[in-house]
Amino acid sequence: MASTPAAAPAAAAPAAAQGSAASGASETAASMDIIRKHAADARWLDALDALDALSADEIDDEALAAEVRHHGERFRSAKNAFEDPEDDIHQWQGRTERFGVETAFRYDDAGLLWLKTAGNMEDVDLFHTVAVLREIQLFGEWIPFLRQSRVVKEQDFARLLAHFTIGTAFFRRDCVFRVAACNHALSGASLFFEGRSLDDDVTEWNGAAVPPRDRSWGMERMVVRDFYARVQFLSQFAQRCEVVVCVDLRTRLPRAVLDFFLKRLVGLFTPVWKSTSRRWREAPEI
């Protein structure tokens, strides 16, 4: 009779272990649900942070994990492009300021030109700032030297493929460019964008045919090696907009001439974007 009470805790141990396992499984499922929701809302940085907190055994959806890693790592690169102090101090050169916009440049190991521009957009609300970016087919009305732009395929509200052409009558370049957005508003009070050109041999993107290369005289397909942008919320009617881009125009023009053109073009982007956002805000409603 004396041994019966002692047996009770031993019998309860498996039940406690089962309860702990069930609790752990429930927490893991909740974590995966959070990651799934972040991905659905294009909160790729938050989704990647949540995924990194799980062990390999806790991930029950490898396809989702792969998608989060793919997009999350790209947006971490975008975030680092604006927040890495060592990169900013040691690599960027030729800092200039025009129209309240700072511009700098650097060359990478392959000799390609990288450009960085940043400026505040005041007296403009976030809605109109982002709305101008969303209307890709209207870029030709406000971006200098842009001859045409259109959306080839919209995968969802945060990912799309665009085709645009820049240049003059004697020098033209087109580009097929995929771009994605990351909602980092709750965690970092900002939006991130990242993009790059498709490879030359790609003919299809998410079921859409890639526009063929124009072989006419003076035309070539340029390459956007990398594109990063951040819209940082400063207040209800002010943002700081930053762009880092590496473009290969595939031309035999002297590098000094080419670099001069690109530096001026990128430096104009933010002030023209700001003025266009203000015009949209002040336009009468239809």
Residue 73, Cα to own-chain centre: how many angstroms?
Answer: 11
Return the higher-pLDDT residue of 114 and 161.
161
CA angle 55, 56, 59 (to 5 degrees): 95
Partnered with residue 175 across adjacent β-strands are: 164
User: What's the predicted TM-score (pTM) here?
Assistant: 0.82
pLDDT at 86: 60
Which pair of tokens denotes residue 130?
């982002």
Q: What is the pLDDT of residues 40-72, one digit of tens each?
A: 999 999 999 999 999 988 998 999 999 999 999
pLDDT at 252 over 90: no
Return the higher-pLDDT residue of 144 and 176.
176
Give the phi and the psi of residue 219 in degrees, each rounded to 5: -105, 140
**Cα distances (angstroms) measured from residue 83 to each of 1, 60, 94, 229:** 71, 33, 19, 12
- 135-143 — which CB contacts under 8 Å span 24+ positions? 136/160, 136/162, 136/164, 139/164, 141/276, 142/272, 142/273, 142/275, 142/276, 143/269, 143/272
pLDDT at 90 over 60: no
pLDDT at 137: 87
Cβ partners under 8 Å of residue 34, min gap 6: 50
Pairing of strands 101-107, 113-122: antiparallel
From 167-176, 188-197, 251-260, the region with the lowest mean pLDDT:
251-260
Averaged pLDDT of the chain: 84
Q: Are 242 and 104 in contact (CB under 8 A)?
A: no
Domains identified in the chain and CATH numbers: 3-77 (no CATH), 91-282 (3.30.530.20)
